[in-house]
Amino acid sequence: NVSENKSVERIEYLLDLDNKRSPSGRENLAIYFDQKKEWQKEIVQWEKAIALTGSARYIDNLATVYFNNQQYDLALKELQRSLKVDSTFDFTHFGLAEVYVRLGRNEEAISEYRKAIKARSNLTQYYDNLGVLLTNLKRYPEAIQVFEEGLTSNPRYFPLCRNLGYSYYNLGEYALAEKNLKLYLERSPQAEDEAEVREVLMDIARKL
């Protein structure tokens, strides 16, 4: 450990001498501290990288540290700073949506999820998280539309079939719910939630 700490100190010293290589070096150190769960040291490295580059990606990474430590107000502040650098970066909008969900600001979260999808329409997680939020708000028709759009974007992401099935179930559209839940189990033979899904299917069978 002493040797490792000395190596880190040496790297930091060299980075201070070479600003051209410093941003990528700071990023590597931030990742190193993240793996060691030394959050404050990681924050320092991201701040130094941001000071050198003003990169929206680095700002978002800093926001992620705050988010993972449940410091949502600080994460929000950084993501808003990132927007000023690049308002088109999909991950910034997704990060804002995730923060707004934690803060109970659901309409703002929905808006930011939609901006993330518009900026990068092929990332299934964006559809999934937005659809789940709408489901939690019992806005099932909207959730169904989002899950359908996600499956159009990536037909092989079968958890969307499960979520779509649950939304149809909550609407009382049992035949469509059954179809999607069976497809999910068929395409996900080792699903951890298989027992839960089969229980819902049994209930559907009683209703049909």
Residue pLDDT, tens place only, 80-114: 999 999 999 999 999 999 999 999 999 999 999 99
What is the pLDDT averaged over residues 153-177? Answer: 96
User: What DSSP string describes 57-113?
Assistant: HHHHHHHHHHHHTT-HHHHHHHHHHHHHH-TT-HHHHHHHHHHHHHTT-HHHHHHHH
pLDDT score at 1: 55
Average pLDDT of the segment spanning 12-24: 71
31-86 per-position pLDDT tens digit: 999 999 999 999 999 999 999 999 999 999 999 999 999 999 999 999 999 999 99
Measured over the CA atoms of residue 136, residue 196, residue 148 and residue 153, the dihedral's sign is positive
Q: Count how many Cα atoms sit within 13 Å of the Cα of residue 74 in the half-sphere of its side chain.
A: 12
For residue 6, pLDDT over 90 is answered with no
- Rounded distance, CA 94 to CA 184, Å? 26
10 or 160, greater pLDDT: 160
**CA dist., res. 22 & res. 60, Å (int):** 18
Q: How many CB atoms lie within 10 A of CB 164?
A: 26
Query: How many CB atoms lie under 10 A from the CB of residue 96?
Result: 26
The answer to whether 166 touches 143, Cβ cutoff 8 Å, is: no
Three-class secondary structure of residue 157 per DSSP:
coil
Q: Report the pLDDT value the prediction gives residue 24, as an integer from 0 to 100.
A: 87
Mean pLDDT of 23-37: 91
What is the per-residue pLDDT for 26?
87
Q: How many angstroms from the chain centroid is the CA of residue 63?
A: 12
* Mean pLDDT in residue range 110-125: 96
Q: Which two tokens stand for residue 23?
A: 């941003």
| In the predicted structure, residue 14 carries a pLDDT above the cut 70 | no
* Per-residue confidence band for 4, with pLDDT thresholds at 50, 70 and 90: confident
End-to-end Cα spacing for the chain = 64
Tell me the average pLDDT across 124-141.
97
Q: How far apart are CA 55 and CA 75, in angstroms?
A: 16
Cα(86)–Cα(161) distance, integer angstroms: 34
For the chain, give the mean pLDDT. 93
